[in-house]
Structure formats: C-alpha cells, structure tokens
Amino acid sequence: MTRVLAAVALILAVGLATVDAQAWSWRSHGKPGTVNIKSAMAVMKDGKLFGVGGNKKLYERVWTGSGWTWVNHGKPSSGIFNPKNFLEEPCILRDGKVYMTTIDGDLYERYWTGSQWSFGAHGNPGTNLEGCSALKDTAGRAMVFTRGHDGTLRERYWTGSSWAWRNHGKPPGTDAYGTTSSYAIYGPTTRVFVPGRNGRLFRFSLDGNYNGAWKNLGAPPGKSVRKVHATEKGGIFAITVDGDVCRWSGSWACYGKPDGKAVWDCSDPFLIENPSINIQTLFCVHTGSYQEVYQLSVFQGGSGWVNRGKPSGTNTFVDRPTVMFSGPYSRVFVPANNGKVYELYPPGQP
C-alpha cells in the first residue's frame, strides 16, 4: 500500500500538487461585515462564490482582479412584511444564474440583467421545496431539480419561451429524501440522484424527449445512504448513515472512515485525468466537536485518505466543503463555526 500511495503522490503532483498534507495551506476570507456565513459556498464558473448568511441573506465572494471582496445580494421580498429568507446552500446554473430555496419552500433565482443583479421568483409547484441542483444540458435546456416536501422530485425547466414545472414523482416504493445531485451525459440525457427515505440511492434519467425513468441503485451492504454527490467525470459518491463514503459504479465500494472518524458531508467529486491513471477525489469533513478536512482519492487498484487539517483558531465547520478550479489547481472553500469562510489551497496557488 505504501508503494501505491507513493505513486498517487507523483500523479497528484501534476494535477493537485501533492498528497503531502503539509504542502497545503489555509487562508481566511473573513465574513461580510458582522454577518456569519451559515451555508456551503456554491461555486460559479467565473470565480464567484455564493452563500447564505445568518441573517438569511445571499452573499457573494468575488475576485475583482486585484483582490477579494464581499457583496451583499440581500433577499427578495413578496411584501413589506413578508421578506423571503434563504436557508441552504445555493446551486449554480452553468450560464451564471444562482438558484436557492427559501425557508417557506419557494424557489428563487438571482441573475444578471446585463446591468444589475435581480431576483426572479419561481414559487413552488404546490408543495414546499428544499435544496436544488441545476444544469444546462448539451441541447441548451436549463433545468433546476429540487425535492418536494411531499417526497417527489420536481423540475423547473425552460421551455424555450417560459419557465414551467414538471413532477417526476417519487422513487419507487419510497419518498425522495435530502437534496439532489444532477448532471448531463450523452447529449441531452440528464441524470439526477436522490437518496430515498428507505436508505437506498435512486437515479432518475431524463432523455432528450423528456421521457424519464427511475432506477433503484440500492445501498452498500448493511448500510443506508444519507447524502449523494455526483458529477459526470467525478463518479457517484454517497455518504452513509454510519459515516462511510462509498461509490456506486455498477456495484458499491466503500472507503471507510478517515482515521476512524464518521464523515458528515463532502464536496462534489471530480476527476484528475492522467495518461497512466485516473483519480477520483473529493474533500470531506467528519462529525465531532473538533473537525478537520480530509481528502479522499480513489484510483484503479486502491484509495487513500489524507488529512488536510483545519484553519487555525477554528474547531468545527457549519457546512460542507466546495471546490473551485483555477487553471490546473483546485481551491477548497469551507465555512467555519466563527462565521468566516476559509480556503484550502495547494502549493503554487496564487
């Protein structure tokens, strides 16, 4: 195993710098004024990050070209006495739009008009909504997937001239539970993953003609699925109720707990491509009163956990890590218990 991990270190030196835990560093992005950031930071492709503050408003962390700054996007209001409060991590559409659900179960959009940012109200389809994942497939169709409190998978999609709702129903024999993860493959085909209340992982496939089908992917032997994170080139990873991280690829494989610590949540997985080997990797935080970030790398013939530590002066995190790519490097962002957002970065990263 030592020889395998040495090989991994050499390969990661090309894409992620190195697996040496001491080689990575932490830096603080602070917080917007006195407001604590309470959600994971959703990453936009042009280097912007969006998260929710303790005051239920939407905030952006953005690189201006000469430095990082915080932007307060506020929150929409359906009336003077009825502001819409945000709660969870937003999701990003590839064309740069930000989506988020409110505490009272509506879907909202934050978009750039060409001259300013504005909120768009999508409401709900007759059931309160929670969480979201968004994508634009290769046919150019915009889709936002979210879970209804009635246990169904709901889709907000662009018809070409207007937005509409579609109800994809429940996973066979159970309710949808938790948030969704989705991506597009093979042209206009879309795949959405959602845990079932029965502890099984379900995949919903939607083709270019809007024909959909559910598939029960089961669960690792003796375990129940609690969360799922999937990308087309990063694999399908689930966090189980007992804190293992497992991958589904026609069958289940599990990678245990880092240093025996139960995993709480992880970033989306991504693929490091190399001529001799491909590595699927993701960053995770574990449960407990003293949390650290661990990196899991999965490659042909093995896997390995690396402890990336924690920012100085912090003890816990309030949500999962997310990953931003900058050239050949990856940056990891995670909100901590002191309300600040911290960045974990490899050597050579400016």
| Domain definitions of the chain by residue range | 1-30+260-350
pLDDT bucket at 47, cuts 50 / 70 / 90: confident
Q: Can you give the pLDDT at residue 345?
A: 93
The whole-angstrom separation of Cα 255 and Cα 281 is: 12
Nearest to 152 by CA among 183, 174, 123: 174
Q: Which two tokens stand for residue 157?
A: 């999609």
Give the chain's mean pLDDT. Answer: 90
Q: Which two tokens stand for residue 164?
A: 């509409």
Least confident of 135-139, 143-147, 267-271, 306-310: 135-139
Q: Can you give the pLDDT at residue 79?
A: 57
The whole-angstrom separation of Cα 98 and Cα 92 is: 5
pTM for the whole thing?
0.91
Q: Can you give the pLDDT at residue 50?
A: 97
Look at residue 14 and tell me whether its pLDDT is greater than 50: no
81-95 tens-digit pLDDT: 456 788 789 999 988
8 A C-beta contact, residue 170 and residue 153 = yes
The whole-angstrom separation of Cα 118 and Cα 134 is: 18
Look at residue 10 and tell me whether its pLDDT is greater than 50: no
Q: Can you give the pLDDT at residue 6?
A: 36
Higher per-residue confidence, 106 vs 210: 106
The whole-angstrom separation of Cα 277 and Cα 297 is: 12
Look at residue 7 and tell me whether its pLDDT is greater than 60: no
Mean pLDDT, to the nearest integer, of 198-216? 95
Q: Can you give the pLDDT at residue 82?
A: 57
Nearest to 108 by CA among 135, 63, 81, 78: 78
The whole-angstrom separation of Cα 92 and Cα 111 is: 10
Mean pLDDT, to the nearest integer, of 245-253? 97
Q: Can you give the pLDDT at residue 328?
A: 67
Nearest to 11 by CA among 349, 345, 331, 328: 328
Least confident of 10-24, 57-71, 212-226: 10-24
The alpha helices in the chain, defined as continuous H runs, are 2-15
